[in-house]
Chain A
């Protein structure tokens, strides 16, 4: 089943001579349960693409359909609700709320949605992420790898249609990076979670099932990874 469809996506910054085409007519689609890695050099437009997919930045033109719904037809409020329910975002710099503990950070999207927390699922996630002994800790009491695991937990908590990860290991050492990649792979397999991950590391990209390569805002390659 097609879960994401991107049509002729463009994003420009600046005007006139200073015009920068961050995304230039990008189209692709993603099937449910796929693990897609988007690779490209710094400044190629991959982060812009991810932010537009996540509903945090608006395209200059083009369409994004998630589960057949045109995301940018939504008003601000519904777009927020879309982000809350359909998207889980994982950033390079974790972006956790420093005054909320691990558990509170993870349940934040549920609380914002005023839904009941699925305690069994929360426990399962905490165990899977290896955070059993850290649930009451504040972000600044955790290592970088642990913080990133919390941010993955937060992204998965709502069982989103899409998990978008922006250089999730960019700030971590190689051991922690490996752990995070294993967790992403695990969530893809265990929960059939669709993942779109941005990285500039081709080796890490090989963890995914499909690699899209971007250069100067255009897709120059889109290929499956052979198992």
Chain B
């Protein structure tokens, strides 16, 4: 081997810890960049799967006669074809409306894969599966076991299917029966292509082969009866317009570039330090006749020797991390998401990432290599010290007074090694900036979604109504009797404009007043708690501030005498119809009612009925909020009650599910974002290690000298701790200043771009004190631990050895 390479290898073996730090740095960079690719790639894969589940796995649908089969069969670009054939079409007249019912048959594989809501798949002739839209509220009102006559044949419903992708191609009211696989005059061929590349052009070719003449539509040529599965093609970037795939690649390349810069800095630092450390060695080499080219190649050789294991380790770590993250994702996602996350890495992302990493390593080694090539033998031989005296405008005498001579030395060391520490300072600052920006990003998400709002403790919200008041009362009783409910408040109400309070419009504290009645149990709860006379209307003195949805205010300081209630007529004229008086007031809703911006007034049933009868004579409506430990069971049970009584309108909303989905989605994003920030911090940490460790090795003689002239172990530790503190402080300050700049920009952006669409006071982000504190302590501790680790050996070694030996 070339003697320079031999020396490089031995040097690396001699400095195992530093070599490992470099390899780890490269591995972590590889991990960082590959995991980004993995994440975006997997996102696309999951998007693809979700789209396939929703819109089918095929690429093109051809609606044609049975002859088309022979042409399609011969097409080389087609991988597979599934067919659905129209058996009969019938028109049904139900209450003055005509319904088209279409009965289809499909091939075995497709039939077996129809997901059922309930019932079973057709196994014999004369059995059909109907879509769920035919059941319950539909006018057809079919259920399993029912029969239907279609063109002289009676069919029995055996199952009800979930909404299916093919329905949009086959038309409404699609029923499926088991057929004998024969084609009919109207067939739908669901074509899967061998390759999706240029799918729309392939579609054109297939259509032309079928003898279809193109017409020109918005997206280019269109062929009648030949439709692309555009949702799926969009996923692959093969749609008509700009593709999400391109955008995703763009975002990926952008993020990649930012990360690449950080990685280059860190890996560059490792090589730069390595070269600085061997400056004298290169000088000797040069003096015995090594050419600059030979020296440059030896630095690249080092890049190769550390780069290959680093990249391999990085790839292995990516696989490991991917497996863990996907497990974690599915664990978190399983209860609320219907899909399972899968890992995927598309070749294009994979190769680009690897190319980036190789580029990063080459770029990182470039400058140090060139510098090594230029090392003059004479400088190296003379061992010129790099300490230069500069004119100072500022004197730091206070450091010495505050921290003693140890602090003074620590501070001077830091100033002397400014250049060496620069990259590490940048890397650490970057970690802080990303941490703070990430933090604000999530705070922003929380603020702008309803996670940030004050939701009452209720987790199921529902309403129902019918013209039959007995039916409504029956449902109400059933719901209140559900054993799995912790607390339920059922109320019915009427929203009114507030005309005037105490006869004075200026006293109007809110625009609206909700007049409600409560179920008897909840009503009694109020009466008992606040000692209110039964029958007297009472105001709940709590409304949500119109300007800031997060604040609840008490609008009244004393009980008003009267409230005038109005409505708007057909021509928007005000019609005031009722004055409420003899009012009581309670300070709180007892957590029984959701807070709104409208004033809530609880009245007795007679009062409400009196008002309601003025307008909505034939409808009885109830709303309810429910608190339950298991909202999912409650939701199902309420749906069961609704199915049993069939009220004319019904609605259940499970807040718990929505909140849970939102929470978990954010948690997943947080895992990814903080994971990436964490990785970047780790990369920065390897840089801290390399810099500190080598810096201290290079100062070995100096430390020995300090000890030889009487610096105690305690003093030595103090010096190191202070140097860590100053260094941490400096990196932190840079990060702090730039982060604040970002905070300002983000706040400005929110104010300018976001708030005009909402209320101006709605979004205000809190200053991330905690993040800064964590960042500061983290940096200080990491540097301190690294410094002490690096000097551990040194503290025990013989002073004379250190003073006399060469350090390599």
What is A's interface to B at a CB cutoff of 8 Å? 51, 54, 56-57, 76-77, 80-85, 87, 89, 91, 95-100, 104, 107-109, 111-113, 139-140, 154, 158
Contacts and interface: CB of A to CB of B under 8 A. Distances in A.
Interchain residue pairs A-B with the least CB separation, the first 10? A84-B289, A80-B291, A56-B377, A111-B3, A83-B289, A99-B10, A57-B378, A77-B291, A95-B284, A56-B378
Contacts of B2: 111-112
Chain B contact residues: helix, strand, loop or mixed: helix
A99 B294 contact: no
A80 B281 contact: no
Interface of B: 2-4, 6-7, 10-11, 14, 281, 284-294, 376-378, 381, 805-806, 808
Given A51-B378, A57-B378, A97 B289 contact: no
Given A56-B381, A97-B7, A99-B14, A77 B292 contact: yes
A109 B288 contact: yes
26 contacts: A51-B378, A54-B287, A56-B286, A56-B287, A56-B378, A56-B381, A57-B376, A77-B291, A77-B292, A80-B292, A83-B289, A84-B290, A89-B287, A91-B381, A95-B284, A97-B284, A97-B285, A99-B14, A100-B3, A100-B6, A100-B7, A104-B6, A112-B2, A112-B288, A112-B294, A113-B289
B808 A98 contact: yes
B259 to A, nearest CB: 35
Contact of B3 (A54, A82, A108): A108
Contact of A97 (B281, B376, B381): B281
A45 B378 CA distance: 14
Given A104-B6, A111-B3, A112-B294, A99 B808 contact: yes
A122 B715 CA distance: 52
A95 B288 CA distance: 10
A81 B289 contact: yes
Given A76-B292, A80-B291, A95 B381 contact: yes
A140 B806 contact: yes
A81 B381 CA distance: 18
Nearest to A51: B378
Nearest to A87: B289
A108 B291 contact: no
A56 B3 CA distance: 20
A145 to B, nearest CB: 16
A54 B291 CA distance: 15
Contacts of A100: 3, 6-7, 10
Contacts of A158: 289
Contacts of A80: 286, 289-292, 294
Contacts of A104: 3, 6
Nearest to A96: B284
B504 to A, nearest CB: 91
B561 to A, nearest CB: 97
Contacts of B6: 100, 104
Given A80-B291, A112-B294, 15 more contacts: A56-B376, A76-B291, A76-B292, A80-B286, A80-B292, A81-B291, A82-B289, A83-B377, A84-B288, A99-B11, A100-B7, A109-B288, A111-B2, A112-B2, A154-B288
Nearest to A110: B3
Contact of A95 (B7, B287, B292): B287
